[in-house]
Structure 1
Amino acid sequence: MDQILRGKEPSEVIPFGWEDPVLYYPVRHHSPACAWHLQRVIRRYRPDCILIEGPEDAGPLLPLLADPLTQAPVALYCSYRDDTRLLETPEEGNDDPAAPVGTYACYYPFLDQSPELAAIRAAAALGVPAQFIDLPYAENLLATRAGRALRQEGRPENYLNDHYLWQNAFWQRVCEKTGMRSFEEFWEKYYETAGFAMSDEAFVRQMNAWCVLARQATPQEEMEADGCLAREARMAVRIAAAAARYQRVLVVAGGFHLWGLMHPRPEQTRPAVPADSQAVYPVRFSFEAADALSGYASGMPAPAFYTAVWQAAQAAPADAFDPAALWDQTVLGFLVKCGRRLRREGEVLSAFDEMCAMQQARGLAALRDKKAPGLYEMQDAVLSSFVKGEANLSGCQPLRVLRQLTTGNGVGQLAPNSLVPPLVQDFQAQCRRYRIRSDKTSLQELTLEIFAKPAHRGASRFLYQTEFLGCGFARRTKGPDLRRNKDKNLIRESWEYRWTASVEAALVERSVAGSTVREACARELRQRMARAGRAGEGADLLLQGFLMGIGEDAGSFARRLEELLLGDGDFSSLCQACRALASLEEWQVQYGEAGRCDAAGLLGRCFDRILQLLPAMGAADDRGAPEVQRCCLLLYQITQRDAFAGMRPRLLAALEELAGQNPVQPALHGTALGLLYGADPGWKARIDTALRGYLQGTRGMMLASAAFLQGLFYTAKDLLLVDPGFLKQVDGLLCALSDQDFDALLPELRLAFSYFVPMETDRIARQAAALHRGAAGTLRQAGISPAEYSRNEQVDAWAAARLAEEAIP
């Protein structure tokens, strides 16, 4: 590597001298070898100031990152809201001031083995100032062309990116020449496993050699479009200012940038960014999010593995440091963990298999001329020694387990401080209170007995609050669903939840809404209620507030909903409001929210508004009819409650008016008559008359009979079960249909009969059979035994073989 710079020594391109007033140290982000040598360089160079590639507006967070109680992985969360539309190109511009503005966010992660974090900690230990010198996130965006780097659609949201080091055909050719399968394997061999055995000067020289070649292979236009040159110009200005103030300045930056820092372009003037539109917060991060193989472009793969390498290097005595033993013991530790985990999962694996795998990893390292086995030798050894049989989807459990172990599922921890938004702190406190794990990234399950245990009800409210804030933390998978009026017979709730870095980022964005999760939800609920334009939307928000246990504003919400009910003329919206209010009125006692608002009064007013519109809904089309049907049945069920029994006469009057219209949608006609029959069996004669009208009318009336039956069976299916005469009329309808008409009506007929349970359909089938055949069992077929089925399979196979012999297709 030392001789690839066209005959020049790397030191001639990027000087590295212990007496230089400004010493440039090249890094690859999250490289343990880079961080290890950086610690040694800092001890030898003894800088008066350390400058670090990072957003300069995050400078106040440096003491927090250096705090011993801060445990990596952690990250800086940078956000920008383009209130003044600085990022909109003329093509993207929008003259409407009410149009939504663009929002942007990214992470700057730190792992224990991150050279930047090592520099921050070393500066704190030496008592010398440290400083971030890169462009703030918003200015970085302004310097980047639309569709590139940080502004690229679908790009992983990270501030740093090492892609210049390997995204080039030349580097792919280098990997081929050296027999490496990927850049990461190349890097581990020549920089990680070999790096710990090098002197500081040799390691820096080799880093600079690679990075300078990467720079030469990257077009200037690409670096300009990505904002790379603008960032280097700003960092060069900050370096010059520090050099004028301090005698010895250490610059810690991506190796790709060092040439640009020493030969910068003049810094360009850009529009000023409003201070209140950008922010930087410290947040916890996870190994999973920092894994390069999961899309994090500026990281290295297997972060938990390289963290273990780093920790072993830190623990090793300086006077007896053995780089080969460092890697050897780390690989052995992961092989043992992998074997133990596989045995817990039921895999047949012995300690001897682990010994064979370790021996093979060492042999592969020797064969590949490596100082010690690394990640890729370990993966190959597991594939060879742990996978029993073919390496297919069912046989690769060892590789999946190894991948999980080397990636890790740990989450960092921030030292107590006032820089973390109170909303995030309250979220963590609530998780601890209800024993909800937020220190792992694996998917967790939780079952809550919401009616038996007050603590479980509190946990349910908290999870509903996180769901309402849209932070992506929890999802209810089972339990009573009051919003959709389903599964109300269940007494437990089941939730799935998973902490990710985006959860905390979303809470940071919401931190302006309140200092606690409950307070943020209450404010967001008030704002949404104020913006609501329909009664259905307002009632759903009221129900969500009930589920979240936010009842302090229930009175004002109720008044706002009354306004929406009075002004809403949309029947569908009123039906949605009626369903939500019916659930609220029915369940507020069970959920411990009784008396928060006058749900019964609101439901009564919604009931009145629907009755005013109901008769006119007879003209609804086929798509709108199901909503009206559901609403009619709901209103009927509401009047079965003692508190609303007095509303039954008005409902029946509205249904009678609906059924008496001409024309009327057939399904609604059947629904209304079925409900009227349920209240008064005397309506049976009216139903018979209506059915005869469909049977004996025009062909169009006959074709509408299936929809009529669907509506009738929806609300009064017992007619077909208790009245043989009615069954005979329906049978006559089906017999009178031609084959073509029967095929056309079949979907609706199936829907009509879907309201009957299997036992009821069996009973109807026997009665229908008796009408035509006089024998109840003619349409039934007994099942066959397993022995008969097996025998028939054998006969079928024998016949297929004979046909094949005779070449009969």
Structure 2
Amino acid sequence: MTVPSSNGPAEIRVFGIRHHGPGSARALLRALSAFEPDTVLIEGPADADPVLALATGEDMTPPVALMAYARDEPGRAAFWPFAAFSPEWQALRWAYLHDADVRFCDLPAAITLADDRDPEAAGRGDLLGELARSGGYDDFEQWWDAVVEHCRDTEDVRTTGTDETAVFDETALFDEITEAMRVLREGVELDAYTARREAHMRQVLRATVKAGARAIVVVCGAMHAPALTGKLGPAAPDARLLRGLPKVKTNLTWVPWSHSRLSLRSGYGAGITSPGWYHHLFTEPADTTARWFTRVARVLRKEDLPVSSAHVIEATRLADTLAALRGRGAAGLEEVTEATRAVLCDGDDVLLDLVMRRLVVGEALGAVPEETPTVPLDADLQRQAKSLRIKRAATAKSVDLDLRRDIDVRRSHLLHRLMLLDIDWGTPAESAVRSTGTFRESWTLVWRPELSVAVVEAARWGTTVEAAAHATVLDRARRPGTSLGEVTELLERALLADLRRAVPALVTAVDAAAALDHDVLHLMTALPTLVRTVRYGDVRGTDLSSLVHVVDALLARTCAGLPAAVTGLDRDAADTLRTAIDEVHVALAVREDPEATGRWLDVLAAVSEREDVDGLLTGRTTRLLRDAGRLDEPHTALRVARALSVGSTVTAKARWIEGFLGGGGLLLVHDRSLLRLVDDWLRGLGDEDFLDVLPVLRRTFGSFAFGERRLLGRAVRGERTPAPRAESGLAVDRGRLAVAATARILGVTA
């Protein structure tokens, strides 16, 4: 359209595009080259213009996103994502390469964040679904994929000129889309937010014309195109609509994004079903189908699946045949998916799901230049990650750290500090390497775009990762109502993160919380963590001498209060206390303090002899005393016989046996007198009594290892455990070779 102005007529063309559509991006580039505008207005936050120039940097690799966040409330943030195949991104790049003025024209982020809604959520609506259904498709994605994304350069879609000079008319395509949207919008009342957005776009367009632009292109979502074509009308109604809107102070920057976050599966309002496929369409315009199946074959081969070039050829033929049968100019996602399932996956939907996740959705993560504005905390994080050779990736990666290496120790400290800041770049994982040492840590690393918001939120605690982690740990420890268990956990995590300056304050907080907490269970729950902390600190050279007296005080209070705490408990409470007793027992064994261990065993002995305590606890304390050497075999057998005597109920006996045997059955394997006592009791049970105690027995004996259950079965049947066969002689020469090799490994002289 042509708009008159004081400086002469200005020609305006509005191109309504599909967000993140490769077909519309390609058509838009041709339309821009044909029209050669001097100004390009793009749907996006108008206050992001100062950071637009960064999009031209060589280190800017899409997918990326504009991120806006409130200065006083960093958790309130909004994103405007761009992929390589996004029409807006291509328009932005074209404008800079051709020296055209370019800026955003949508509502500023300051207004969007104050409105507290997703800026992309209003981009689709039911209108696009109606457009697709009018064309005979189930949803808009299928319609656009067939009509636009796969039309590419075929001359039989829309052409102008004579048969000899026919060319693809991009303007006609966009005009038809705009007209279709205009028809669909008739009689539809738009929501207030959409109305304000379109009013702002018109105001920016008016200002652009007034500033002297002569050839203007507006790139916006197809739904908004009718509102920007034709006569713009008077400015007063739009000004009234925008007057008095709330605003917040915002910062804007670029952050890496990922294909998976562009997907509808992620909950992104303007998302697409197949970002990986769209990226392929845009970057591989020639031999698209064959190249796609080559990528599929490569993914399947990495999973050690037998996929040959013949499979690729046959899949390409099948996809092209399906497209021809359906009257389509080229194979689309539907055709290549069916061909992938039938030929490359042999009908296996599990393999097809792998292809969908790896390729159709995709796992690419973008990158932004180092000069991109960011908070100091993010700059420090990037510096450390680069120094420690930790790369941000959208795919999960397992990492095993050897804490005997300096670089792995520093990696561990960084990941633990980030966890304290709720920046979950890494999460602890089970190692695939069998090891019982404390020098190994295993992590799963995956960078999600929303972690950029977490970094901004954490920036209020400090300018470096260490300073921010130190400040947040102390803040949590000093909050009113922080329990003893929470403070002890913070202390342990602070040591793992090497926050040594925070340790004295945390020890003081633990001491204060312990003095105020009179719940024995809470004290027992805190003890194992504190014992581990003392041991961990000693290994890494941290001075925790002040914590030792806290541990001793907690143990003294636990020993004093445990005899009273074990009475009057229901089953659930007894189960919980039994777990706490086990954990304290193991912790004291780790501490290796004979005096403390002796005091603890004295309390267990007193509990084990009481008759007013749940059998689970008396049975468990008896077993712990037996394992610690406080009870010999005759005394242990006497206690088992007494627990299984006539005077107790069947349920009470079963609870005692569960406490006594829980966790391991080797005691019965090696002590046949105890085995006979238990076996005689079980054989003497009536049918009803046996059914009553069967769940407890199953839980008890089911916890035994398979080898223990097999040995018990042999012992009950009266079979002897087969002894290893004696060898006829010793291979002395072979033994000397083994000893010599072991000596070389250990660095000693054999």
TM over 0.5: yes
Q: Which of 225, 242, 250 is matched with 2:217 structurally?
A: 250
Q: How far 1:500 sits from its partner (Å)?
A: 2.7
Does 1:448 pair with 2:424? Answer: no
Q: Which of 742, 748, 767 is matched with 2:690 structurally?
A: 742
Q: How far 1:334 sits from its partner (Å)?
A: 2.7
| Separation in 2, partners of 1:195, 1:118 | 25
User: Aligned partner of 2:123: which letter?
Assistant: N
Q: Could you say which residue in structure 1 is the equivalent of 2:621? A: 672
| Separation in 2, partners of 1:680, 1:306 | 70
Does 1:113 pair with 2:85? Answer: yes
Q: Could you say which residue in structure 2 is the equivalent of 1:322? A: none
| Separation in 2, partners of 1:180, 1:117 | 20
- 8 Å contact kept, 1:59–1:131: yes
| CA distance 1:12–1:714, shift in 2 (3 Å) | same
| CA distance 1:695–1:70, shift in 2 (3 Å) | closer
Q: Which of 229, 241, 253 is matched with 2:207 structurally?
A: 241
SS in 2 for 1:447: strand
Aligned ranges 1:291-690 → 2 under 5 Å: 291=263, 296-311=268-283, 327-343=285-301, 345-355=303-313, 357-358=315-316, 375=333, 378-379=336-337, 382=340, 386-387=343-344, 391-393=347-349, 397=352, 401=355, 404-405=358-359, 407-438=361-392, 440-450=393-403, 452-479=404-431, 489=437, 492-531=440-479, 533-590=482-539, 592-595=540-543, 598-619=546-567, 620-640=569-589, 644-659=593-608, 661=610, 663-677=612-626, 681=630
Q: Could you say which residue in structure 2 is the equivalent of 1:320? A: none
User: Aligned partner of 2:92: which letter?
Assistant: I
Q: Could you say which residue in structure 1 is the equivalent of 2:227? A: 260
CA offsets 1:344-396 (integer angstroms, 9 cap, x no match):
55555554554555566666666666665555555566566x448x53436x6
CA offsets 1:17-67 (integer angstroms, 9 cap, x no match):
x95354433222223444345445555655554322111232222122233
- 8 Å contact kept, 1:175–1:186: no
Unaligned runs of 5+ in 2: 161-166, 723-750
- 8 Å contact kept, 1:635–1:651: no
| CA distance 1:649–1:181, shift in 2 (3 Å) | closer
| Separation in 2, partners of 1:353, 1:656 | 72
Aligned ranges 1:129-144 → 2 under 5 Å: 129-137=101-109, 139-140=111-112
Q: Could you say which residue in structure 1 is the equivalent of 2:21? A: 31
- 8 Å contact kept, 2:294–2:312: yes
User: Aligned partner of 1:333: which letter?
Assistant: R
CA offsets 1:578-617 (integer angstroms, 9 cap, x no match):
1211222233445x35436744333223222322321211
- 8 Å contact kept, 2:484–2:514: yes
| CA distance 1:422–1:175, shift in 2 (3 Å) | farther
CA offsets 1:424-457 (integer angstroms, 9 cap, x no match):
344444443343332x42332222223x322223
* TM-score normalised by L of structure 2: 0.80
Q: How far 1:566 sits from its partner (Å)?
A: 1.0
Q: Could you say which residue in structure 1 is the equivalent of 2:54? A: 64
User: Aligned partner of 2:349: which letter?
Assistant: L
User: Aligned partner of 1:186: which letter?
Assistant: V
Aligned length: 703
- 8 Å contact kept, 1:536–1:575: no
- 8 Å contact kept, 1:671–1:712: yes
- 8 Å contact kept, 1:549–1:593: no
- 8 Å contact kept, 1:39–1:122: yes
| Separation in 2, partners of 1:530, 1:197 | 70
| Separation in 1, partners of 2:320, 2:716 | 79
* TM-score normalised by L of structure 1: 0.75
Kindly, what percent of the aligned residue pairs are identical?
A: 23
Q: How far 1:559 sits from its partner (Å)?
A: 1.0
| Separation in 2, partners of 1:682, 1:291 | 64
- 8 Å contact kept, 1:328–1:373: no
Q: Could you say which residue in structure 1 is the equivalent of 2:173? A: 206
SS in 2 for 1:268: helix
User: Aligned partner of 1:228: which letter?
Assistant: T
- 8 Å contact kept, 2:114–2:246: no
SS in 1 for 2:543: coil
Q: How far 1:502 sits from its partner (Å)?
A: 2.5
SS in 1 for 2:501: coil
Q: Could you say which residue in structure 2 is the equivalent of 1:3? A: none
Q: How far 1:522 sits from its partner (Å)?
A: 2.6
- 8 Å contact kept, 1:546–1:593: no
CA offsets 1:193-245 (integer angstroms, 9 cap, x no match):
669985799423332322332343247666216x2112111222222233222
Q: Could you say which residue in structure 2 is the equivalent of 1:316? A: none
User: Aligned partner of 1:254: which letter?
Assistant: G
| Separation in 1, partners of 2:347, 2:441 | 40
| Separation in 2, partners of 1:673, 1:343 | 58
User: Aligned partner of 2:430: which letter?
Assistant: K
| CA distance 1:80–1:612, shift in 2 (3 Å) | farther
| Separation in 1, partners of 2:75, 2:129 | 28
Q: Could you say which residue in structure 2 is the equivalent of 1:275? A: 248
| Separation in 1, partners of 2:258, 2:663 | 54
- 8 Å contact kept, 1:480–1:487: no
Q: How far 1:247 sits from its partner (Å)?
A: 3.3
SS in 1 for 2:241: coil
CA offsets 1:618-642 (integer angstroms, 9 cap, x no match):
2132212233223334444444467
| Separation in 1, partners of 2:648, 2:301 | 71
User: Aligned partner of 2:296: which letter?
Assistant: C
CA offsets 1:721-763 (integer angstroms, 9 cap, x no match):
6665555544454355332222222333344556755555556
| Separation in 2, partners of 1:647, 1:425 | 48
Does 1:223 pair with 2:190? Answer: yes
- 8 Å contact kept, 2:110–2:247: no
Q: Could you say which residue in structure 1 is the equivalent of 2:261? A: 289
| CA distance 1:272–1:12, shift in 2 (3 Å) | closer
CA offsets 1:474-505 (integer angstroms, 9 cap, x no match):
33221599xxxx98557533332223323334
Does 1:166 pair with 2:115? Answer: no
Q: Could you say which residue in structure 2 is the equivalent of 1:99? A: none
| CA distance 1:433–1:761, shift in 2 (3 Å) | same
- 8 Å contact kept, 1:536–1:576: yes
| Separation in 2, partners of 1:613, 1:547 | 31
SS in 1 for 2:417: helix
- 8 Å contact kept, 2:16–2:177: no
